[in-house]
């Protein structure tokens, strides 16, 4: 599956607020920190894939505004090739992120803006990009119809497909059958399968159900417990790496997915690609921000060697 990682998704500017706890309705809190930086699941994954050594190409829509300028600068710095439609009738996406000081856990509101208009017709216009991919990956922040058509187009071309089903949503019955890999976290896996995931065995049961729904392989990310790879032939728990104190978990799942996809295109087998994704995510949570927290290939390999 050599070739570029072609990622369909959205870019948003992340406005991140750090407080001891979330505010209650009608309440104003004084925060302890604020940052404005690049985000969006698809964009984060493209940055992670490029920094992890892959050839990342990112399909999206933007407005013509300051946040669009931020997007192009982010991709240029990371080595991502943008394939973008700009819309002067809309705006570039934005997200408000609450980060709890003590744990680094987060809660997020996303407004996709122009990316909310990504359509199956856009996918048809990008079909040659998808045809030339080694891996096609998407998530669910842009319209579901576009994600579904992207996966179907990639499958028709024989391209390896990855669906990161985030944020959680009800999927069309045939969507998982278009996926070589589906990569939910515990909450998303429960939403897709009805199986609460609190243990490794729970993850294995949920992964088996995802295979029954059509995916060739399931990777359930487990936060501090690493990730489970399950494809029917092998079921492997990859423990988490320790890179230092957790500062901010924003973008950790995106870091895993982008790094995993890059590893596949660079020749790693799926389990070792999961291991590389876990190492990358472990580094990312020690740093503030989303795209800004993604590690380089050299940093990831050093983490694996140290472990």
| H/E run at residue 16 | strand 12-19
The residue behind tokens 């744990």 is 103
Give the pairing of strands 160-163 and 181-182: parallel
Give the pairing of strands 135-138 and 12-19: unpaired
What span, in angstroms and rounded, lies between the C-alpha atoms of 78 and 221?
25
Sheet holding 160-163, edge to edge: 81-86, 56-62, 5-8, 135-138, 160-163, 181-182, 217-221, 227-230, 235-238
Contact 74, 291 (CB under 8 A): yes
What span, in angstroms and rounded, lies between the C-alpha atoms of 92 and 65?
7
Q: What residues form DSSP beta bridges with 12?
A: 39, 93
Q: 254 an active-site residue?
A: yes
From the list 105, 201, 254, 269, the catalytic residue is 254
Closest to 60 measured CA to CA, from 110, 109, 125, 3: 125
Which residues are known catalytic residues? 254
């Amino acid at each position: 599956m050599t070739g570029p990682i072609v990622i369909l998704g959205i870019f948003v500017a992340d406005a991140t607020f750090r407080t001891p706890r979330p505010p209650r309705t009608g309440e104003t809190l004084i925060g302890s920190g604020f940052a404005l930086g690049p985000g969006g699941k698809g964009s984060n994954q493209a940055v992670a894939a490029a920094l992890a050594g892959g050839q990342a190409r990112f399909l999206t829509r933007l407005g013509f505004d300051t946040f669009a300028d931020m997007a192009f600068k982010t991709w240029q710095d990371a080595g991502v090739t943008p394939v973008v439609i700009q819309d002067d009738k809309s705006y570039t996406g934005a997200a408000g992120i609450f980060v709890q000081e003590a744990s680094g856990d987060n809660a997020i509101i996303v407004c996709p803006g122009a990316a909310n208009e990504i359509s199956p017709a856009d996918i048809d216009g990008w079909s040659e990009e998808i045809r030339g991919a080694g891996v096609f990956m998407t998530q669910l922040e842009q319209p579901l119809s576009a994600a579904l058509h992207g996966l179907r187009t990639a499958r028709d071309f024989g391209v390896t497909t990855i669906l990161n089903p985030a944020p959680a949503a009800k999927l069309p019955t045939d969507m998982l059958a278009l996926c070589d890999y589906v990569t939910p976290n515990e909450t998303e896996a429960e939403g897709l399968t009805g199986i609460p995931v609190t243990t490794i065995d729970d993850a294995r049961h949920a992964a088996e159900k995802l295979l029954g729904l059509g995916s060739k392989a399931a990777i359930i990310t487990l936060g501090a417990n690493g990730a489970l790879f399950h494809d029917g032939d092998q079921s492997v728990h990859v423990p988490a790496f320790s890179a230092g104190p957790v500062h901010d978990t924003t973008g950790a799942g995106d870091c895993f997915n982008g790094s995993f996809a890059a590893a596949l295109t660079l020749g790693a087998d799926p389990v070792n690609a999961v291991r590389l994704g876990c190492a990358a995510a472990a580094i990312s949570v020690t740093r503030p921000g989303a795209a800004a927290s993604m590690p380089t290939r050299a940093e990831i390999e050093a983490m694996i060697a140290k472990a």
